[in-house]
Amino acid sequence: MNSAEISALRRKFIIIATISFFVVITFTAGMTALANQYIMRAQAGHALDLIVENGGDMPEPSASARKLHATDIFEGLFAEFAYSARYFSVVFDANDNVRNVNVNHVASVDRGEAIDYAHAAVESYNKSLTVSLLDMGMTDTFYYRVKKLDDGGTMAVFLDCSFQMQVNHEVGVTTLVICGVGLVGCFLSVLFLSKRAIRPEIESSRRQKQFITNASHELKTPLAVIRANTEVIEMLQGESEWTRSTMSQVDRMDGLVQNLVMIARSEEREDRSAMGEVDVSNLVIESVDPFQALARQEDKTLVCEVVDDVRMMADASAIQQLVTILVDNAIKYCDDHGEVVVGLASPRRGRVTLTVSNTYAEGKNAEFNKFFERFYRDDEAHSNEGGYGIGLSVAESICTRYGGSIKAGWKNGMAVFTCQLKSV
């Protein structure tokens, strides 16, 4: 795992932890708001029931009800509520004429306003028939209930809940502020602790790269000795099947060691001193040209479709390495008598799209998402090619280093590798 991947892992950890905390506090705040709303509505409903059942006036709490604080919290609460409730009631006769108006327990509404509120509530009740003793309506800051009387008249009772609504609003605002502060605190904490969380991964990556580098150097010496001894044997006894096989395996091991070194170097930080504005168009052409002879030798067609004067800030050697890996891979796994197409475009300044495709008739069911795994080998497609399964992993590392990505897919009988790069 290179430094870019470790940074991406840290960002992902921070995002997931912050989102998780946000979901939890949002759920908690929402449930708190719903609970407050439910309690306020339940209190209002109970109070309206008492007023309606008492003919439009709050009944006086009995002496026994005043003593229920310790045994029944709701009864005790509503016993006290009788003294603080702000309500009014209006009674209409069977002909919808006002028979009685009680505004003695509210200061914010006069007689005329009470009648207007009652008319609107009764009209809504008659139209919808949804307001009953089990259901409340609401207008402005008043909860209300409408009841049909035995003599054909109608009673409308209103309870002012503005104080409770204000309290709920203040609680809601306070909750949001606390949640916001908590979210910021969580983000800062995770931002700080994430360095410790990924420290084992950084150490593991460092040891892995150190091991690869050390192993590569250690392998060079015995390989050199085996090669020298085999050459001496060939000089003394002549070339044989056994010496050819030994030299072939030594060459293969040399290639593997070089690829291991290339992996370790690909994960190192880019040397900024090597950066500069490069002509990517010329780099691609120069990197593709040496493969023309190889393509003709294998009876394959190599086509280069490059847009002129595509430039970006980059290390020229990294771009050439990327093109070389992809073109070499495309020629190696291209179908017999097939075609390899290299394309370059620049959809926006500072951004480059490089595509390398090759004829691959059997690629419809290939697992392209695994092609970038180190040492991955598709047995059917790669059985006789002698590859190491490392090149595409290095190509992915280069693309990541330049803030881009590489994707593989199959379309119209062609395996297509698409690289997105941007200036660093």
Kindly report the CATH number assigned to the domain that includes residue 219: 1.10.287.130
Overall average pLDDT of the 248-267 stretch: 74
Per-residue pLDDT averaged across 378-402, rounded?
A: 65
At residue 146, what is the residue type? V
In this model, does residue 89 exceed pLDDT 90?
A: yes
> Is pLDDT above 50 for 243?
yes
CA pair distance 390, 7, nearest whole angstrom: 23
From the list 214, 208, 273, 261, the residue with the least C-alpha distance to 2 is: 208
What is the structure's pLDDT at 19? Answer: 92
Could you tell me if 252 and 345 lie in one domain?
no
pLDDT exceeding 70 applies to what percent of the chain?
Answer: 84
Domain count, the chain: 3
Instruction: For residues 162 and 361, give the distance between their C-alpha atoms in angstroms, rounded to a whole number.
Output: 74
On whether both 154 and 217 belong to a single domain, the answer is no
Whether 86 has a pLDDT exceeding 70, the answer reads: yes
Choose among 382, 297, 384: nearest CA to 337.
Answer: 297
More confident residue, 158 or 78: 158
- Distance, in Å, from the CA atom of 29 to the CA atom of 179, rounded to the nearest integer, reads 8
Whether the predicted pLDDT of 9 surpasses 50: yes
Contact 122, 98 (CB under 8 A): no
Do the bridges between strand 339-345 and strand 301-306 make them parallel or antiparallel, or are there none, so unpaired?
parallel
Residue 51 has pLDDT above 90, yes or no: no
Q: Is 203 a member of any domain?
A: yes
Residue 175 is assigned to a structural domain of this protein:
no
- DSSP annotation string for 219-245: HHHHHHHHHHHHHHHHHHH---HHHHH
Q: How far is it, in rounded angstroms, from Cα 230 to Cα 287? A: 35
The CATH number for 409's domain is 3.30.565.10
Long-range CB contacts (within 8 A, 24+) of 297-304: 298/331, 299/336, 299/337, 300/331, 300/334, 300/336, 300/337, 300/338, 300/339, 300/340, 301/338, 301/339, 301/340, 302/327, 302/331, 302/339, 302/340, 302/342, 303/339, 303/340, 303/341, 303/342, 304/342
- Distance in angstroms between the alpha carbons of the first and the last residue of the chain: 20
Last residue of a domain, one of 231, 266, 301: 266
Residue 289 lies in a domain: yes
Lowest mean pLDDT among 18-32, 121-135, 175-189: 121-135
The confidence score (pLDDT) of residue 71 equals 46
Mean pLDDT (whole number) for 379-399:
63
Question: Among 153-157, 221-225, 345-349, 378-382, where is mean pLDDT lowest?
Answer: 378-382
- For residue 367, pLDDT beyond 80: no
388 with 292, same domain: the answer is: yes
Q: Mean pLDDT across the stretch 333-349?
A: 88
Q: What is the mean pLDDT of residues 356-367?
A: 84
391 and 414 fall within a common domain:
yes
Question: Does any domain span residue 172?
Answer: no
Does residue 193 form part of some domain? no
Note whether 161 and 59 are same-domain residues: yes
pLDDT at 238: 87
Given a contact cutoff of 8 angstroms between Cβ atoms, the answer to whether 284 and 381 are in contact is no
Which pLDDT score, from 0 to 100, does residue 354 have? Answer: 93
Range with the poorest average pLDDT among 168-177, 324-333, 345-354: 345-354
pLDDT-based confidence at 142, cuts 50/70/90? very high
**Residue 56 CA to chain centroid, in angstroms?**
57
Task: Please report the pLDDT score of residue 382 as a whole number.
Answer: 44
The range of the structural domain enclosing residue 231 comes to: 199-266
CA dihedral 144, 172, 85, 74 (to 10 degrees): 100
Confidence at residue 302, expressed as pLDDT on a 0 to 100 scale: 93
pLDDT bin (cut points 50, 70, 90) of residue 341 is: very high
With cut-offs at 50, 70 and 90, classify the pLDDT of residue 353: very high
| Domain contains 398 | yes
| pLDDT at position 271 | 52
Between 275 and 264, the more confident residue is 275
Q: Which of 29-38, 44-53, 323-332 has the lowest mean pLDDT?
A: 44-53
Residue 264 has pLDDT above 70, yes or no: no
Of 372, 291, 293, 281, residue with least CA distance to 330: 291
User: Looking at the structure, do residues 254 and 280 belong to the same domain, yes or no?
Assistant: no
Beta bridge partners of 424: none
What is the reported pLDDT for 395?
A: 85
Single out the residue of 90, 170, 151 nearest to residue 122, CA to CA: 90
What per-residue confidence (pLDDT) applies to 191? 87
pLDDT at 389: 60
Considering the domain boundaries, does residue 111 fall inside one? Answer: yes
pLDDT the model gives residue 198: 77
Assigned token pair, 411: 């379309």
Burial class (CB in 10 A: 0-12, 13-18, 19+), 44: buried
Sign of CA dihedral 27, 30, 36, 40: negative
* 233 is a domain residue: yes
Better-predicted residue by pLDDT, 128 or 267 = 128
**How far is Cα 60 from Cα 78, in angstroms, rounded to an integer?**
11
- Residues in Cβ contact with 154 at an 8 Å cutoff, skipping those fewer than 6 apart: 91, 92, 96, 122, 125, 146, 147, 148
- Quote the CA–CA distance of 44 and 222 in Å, as a whole number: 89
User: Residue 213: its pLDDT value, please?
Assistant: 73
Same domain, 253 and 295: no
Residue whose structure tokens are 């309606």: 52
Same domain, 304 and 397: yes
Q: What is the pLDDT of residue 381?
A: 43
Stretch 123-137: mean pLDDT: 66
Same domain, yes or no: 112 and 61:
yes
Are residues 229 and 125 part of one domain?
A: no
Query: How many other C-beta atoms lie within 10 A of the C-beta of residue 190?
Result: 19
pLDDT at 418: 93
Considering 266, 281, 312, which residue would you say is the last residue of a domain? 266
- Pick from 126-140, 238-252, 351-365, 403-417: least confident: 126-140
pLDDT digits (tens, 9 = 90+) for 233-242: 988 888 888 8
Are 13 and 158 members of one domain? Answer: yes
pLDDT bucket at 177, cuts 50 / 70 / 90: very high
Last residue within a domain, chosen from 148, 165, 182: 165
Same domain, yes or no: 339 and 278: yes
What percent of the chain is predicted at pLDDT more than 90? 23
